[in-house]
Amino acid sequence: MSLIELRNVTKSYAIDNAVIDAVSNVSIEIAKGQFVSIVGHSGSGKTTLLSILGGIVKPTSGGVLFDGQDIYAFTSDELSEYRSKKIGFMFQFASLLPVLTAKENIMLPVLFRFNGSDGSGVSEEKALELLEMVGLGDKINAYPSQLSGGQQRRIAIARAFMNNPEVILADEPTGDLDEETEAEMMNFFKRMNNEKNITFIMVTHNTDLAMQTGRRLRMSNGVISEL
Amino acid sequence: MTKELTLFSFALKNLSRKKLRTGILIIAISLLVCSLVFAMSFVKRVNASIKLTSERLGADILIVPAGSRGSAENILLENQVKSFYMDMSVIDKLKTIEGIAALTPQTYLITMPSLCCGVPEAMVIAFNQDTDFIITPWLDKKLKAGLKKGEAVVGSDSALNLDLGLVDVDSVLFGSTFKIVGVLGKTGTGLDNAIFISDDNMPHIIESGRVNIKPGQISIVFAKVKKGYDPYKISRNIEDSILEVDTVARKDIGKSIVNALSDINKIFYITVILASILSIFLVWAIFSAIANERAREVGIMRAIGAKESHVLTLFFIEVVVVGAIGSLLGIIFGNAMYFTLSKSFSIIKHLSAELNAVERSIITISGFLIGTSVCIVGALLPVQRLKKLEPLIVIKGES
Ligand SMILES: Nc1ncnc2c1ncn2[C@@H]1O[C@H](COP(=O)(O)OP(=O)(O)OP(=O)(O)O)[C@@H](O)[C@H]1O
Ligand SMILES: [Mg+2]
């Protein structure tokens, strides 16, 4: 059985009198441990699709099954738990909280998952380890305003792994990184994919990166197709 | 290692990002609580004094010369120095009224400050030892036998003045020397500031010519009512049949003060209510602004797994911290104001009763609860709106 299954998912937006389908009748299955990339023009519906997968945007019609369960049949709290425990989301835009330090930002998913700390200090070690992995071990106590755009981006990448998610939803995660750092991050992703069997669904404009993934999808006017 | 991240520390960090705004909010709440604490202390103190006096007086009805009702209350409740007189024959007339169990007269005299070597003006109360039931209960055991001529006891606060040298031991009162043989127990009433002598001394004092009183005059008669009789009815009876007197029934002691104060109380409370409403609006406005500013951040938190309850708790902590700090400051300011101003409010200055620990606690707790509730009520709508926010907003860029 596949880990994630989309059945005839459509998301429509009404703009003025016109209705546009940002995602149009998408049906796909994604197996556990797959590394999937999604390419497509600006406005083709990639972010909308990831948001639907992440339990953030409810589709207008169709179903999203995770482990066979329809996540949009969940209560608000169950959906929050789904986002907290199953999903690690890397947003397209800056998403760090300005009052928290790098380490605190990374610890935030743990706070929401356990209503506080995990009580063992394991999470804190993990946070430091992740900061090290994204090459920012020396920025533990820096605030987002003291970091460059690319450094903030890497903190957000680290944050997505904090709760040991089953799926990483990455929306142009390397958008504002230089080529070298981009390659490092991609290697980091592949390692997490191999070692921990984390499923990756990554939106990218970089065809080189897409070529490195096991399965490639294209979005075009809300319609999805295999490459 | 830095400090652990908790919802509480997170909320505090959020509060400290706009220090001026948080400060203004705290000050607003503290001003509200300050005026509340002050008003409650004031009103409670007046009421406590009245209750105490009527409970400790031991009399059901006070009989005073017509028109002197207010003066009598001033003496008993506020330690003011006043005198008024009527003829002793009133006692015989009172004895004919049905339902009276006991009667005892007292005569109020005022010492002349100018005549007496710097001793401040004080009330001297001459009481009738044979019939007394007002003063004797407060006397030391060894004095229960009675005061001899030329002996005096002083109220507990006068005793303090004695210690300070403000009143001479073996005081010279109205030209005669009085030996001070004891101190009255603390009554918490106006009696604490008086000097007590037996009315055996009256002829001698009148002879001295230093007081404005004629033989056979008294100031007040205290009456006890027989069981089963209504003090109010008897009071009215007395006023109907003896035209030259006014009466105050025990429950009515302080009524004229209460009436005078009730308008002040109303003004106090209306002010506090208006200030509360104003504060609620202020909190509402500030938290609406906060809600707008942080909508995107709340969206991010929801998208990475925060439940509605997390968002609610986070803002609730901010609200309660502001409310609690503001209330605590307000309680401190309010008490400071009460103690400073009570010296300049003549009505409080003269009041006998102090607020006890229970009353203080009630005022403190009410101040705290009201200050904090005002914050919570004001923030309710904006925070509710945030809680319901869809995480969708995060997928859009800068907002
Ligand atoms: N909240 C919304 N309201 C109305 N229309 C929306 C909303 N969100 C997205 N859209 C529309 O849906 C379509 C798909 O948007 P989406 O953000 O998914 O594109 P994208 O593929 O991620 O583009 P990009 O590569 O530029 O990020 C666009 O036409 C967009 O205008
Ligand atoms: Mg996008």
Distance A44 CA to ligand 1 centre (A): 7
A76 closest CB neighbour out of B10, B305, B308: B308
How many other C-beta atoms lie within 10 A of the C-beta of residue B251?
12
Distance B305 CA to ligand 2 centre (A): 21
B13 at A interface, C-beta within 8 A: yes
Residue B141 pLDDT more than 50? yes
CA distance B212 to B201: 15
Q: Which of the pair, B174 or A19, is modelled with greater confidence?
A: A19
Nearest CA in chain A to B396: A93
Left, alpha or beta for B195 (phi > 0: left; psi -120 to 50: alpha)? beta
**Segments of chain A scoring below 50 in pLDDT:** none
Measured from the alpha carbon of residue A20, the closest ligand is 1
Q: In the sheet where A199-203 sits, what is the strand order?
A: A87-90, A167-171, A199-203, A35-40, A215-220, A223-226
* For chain A, domain boundaries: 4-226
Nearest CA in chain B to A94: B397
B395 closest CB neighbour out of A84, A92, A163: A92
Pairing relation of β-strands B123-127 and B195-198? parallel
Does the Cβ of A44 fall within 6 Å of ligand 1?
yes
pLDDT tens digits, B356-392? 788 889 999 999 999 999 999 999 999 988 887 777 7
Residue B129 pLDDT more than 60? yes
List chain B residues with CB under 8 Å of A97: 297, 300-301
Closest CA to B99 of B221, B222, B240, B227: B227
Architecture of domain A4-226: 3-Layer(aba) Sandwich (3.40)
Residue to substitute in A48, A202, A219 for testing ligand 1 pocket (most ligand atoms within 8 angstroms of CB): A48
The predicted structure's pLDDT at residue A55: 93
pLDDT tens digits, A138-196? 999 999 999 999 999 999 999 999 999 999 999 999 988 999 999 999 999 999 999 99
Distance from CA of B13 to the nearest CA of A (A): 6
pLDDT tens digits, B293-308? 898 899 999 999 999 9
Q: Which atom of ligand 1 is nearest to the CA of A41?
A: 25
User: Residue A167 in contact with residue A140, Cβ under 8 Å?
Assistant: no
In angstroms, the Cα distances linking A155 to A26, A27, A141, A144 are 32, 33, 12, 9
In angstroms, the Cα distances linking B358 to B38, B41, B44, B265 are 16, 12, 11, 21
List chain B residues with CB under 8 Å of A115: 7, 310
CA distance A202 to A209: 10
The band of B194, judged by pLDDT with boundaries at 50, 70 and 90, is confident
Distance from CA of B28 to the nearest CA of A (A): 25
Q: Please, what is the Cα angle at B117 between B114 and B122, to 5 degrees?
A: 65
Rounded to the nearest integer, the mean pLDDT of chain B is 83
User: Residue B399 in contact with residue B351, Cβ under 8 Å?
Assistant: no
Closest CA to B393 of B293, B287, B297, B306: B297
Mean per-residue pLDDT for B92-111? 89
Mean per-residue pLDDT for B24-37? 93
CA distance A160 to B329: 43
User: Residue A103 in contact with residue A144, Cβ under 8 Å?
Assistant: no
Mark out chain A residues that contact chain B at CB-CB < 8 A: 47-48, 51, 54, 56-57, 76-77, 80-81, 83-85, 89, 91-95, 97-101, 103-104, 107-109, 111-113, 115-117, 124, 140-141, 159, 163, 171
The predicted structure's pLDDT at residue B1: 44
DSSP state string for A38-72: EEE-TTSSHHHHHHHHTTSS--SEEEEEETTEEGG
B394 at A interface, C-beta within 8 A: yes
Pairing relation of β-strands B179-183 and B151-154? parallel
Task: Summarize chain A as % helix, strand, coil (round to 5).
Answer: 40, 30, 35
The band of B29, judged by pLDDT with boundaries at 50, 70 and 90, is very high
Distance A62 CA to ligand 1 centre (A): 19
Q: What is the amino acid identity at position B385? A: R
Q: Which of B19, B304, B399 to mutate to test the interface with A (most CBs of A within 10 A)?
A: B304
Interface size A-B, in CB pairs within 8 Å, comes to: 99
List chain A residues with CB under 8 Å of B6: 111, 116-117
State the maximum Cα–Cα separation within chain B, in Å, rounded to a whole number.
101
The predicted structure's pLDDT at residue B389: 77
Nearest CA in chain B to A92: B395
Does the Cβ of A26 fall within 6 Å of ligand 1?
no
B4 at A interface, C-beta within 8 A: yes
B388 at A interface, C-beta within 8 A: no
List chain A residues with CB under 8 Å of B19: none
Q: Which atom of ligand 1 is nearest to the CA of A205?
A: 25
Residue B119 pLDDT more than 60? no
Mean per-residue pLDDT for B12-20? 91
Nearest CA in chain A to B391: A56
User: Residue B73 in contact with residue B46, Cβ under 8 Å?
Assistant: no
User: Residue B145 in contact with residue B118, Cβ under 8 Å?
Assistant: no
Nearest CA in chain A to B305: A84
Distance B383 CA to ligand 2 centre (A): 29
List chain A residues with CB under 8 Å of B15: none
CB contact under 8 A, A83 and B303: yes
The predicted complex's ipTM stands at 0.94
Does the Cβ of A40 fall within 6 Å of ligand 1?
yes
Measured from the alpha carbon of residue A45, the closest ligand is 1
Q: Please, where are the H alpha helices in chain B?
A: 7-15, 19-56, 69-78, 89-95, 156-163, 202-208, 231-241, 255-293, 295-303, 308-341, 346-349, 357-387
The predicted structure's pLDDT at residue B116: 46
B300 at A interface, C-beta within 8 A: yes
The residues near A198 (Cβ < 8 Å, ≥ 6 apart) are A33, A88, A161, A165, A166, A167, A168, A192
Tokens matching residue B43: 């009103």
Does the Cβ of A93 fall within 6 Å of ligand 1?
no
The predicted structure's pLDDT at residue A114: 86
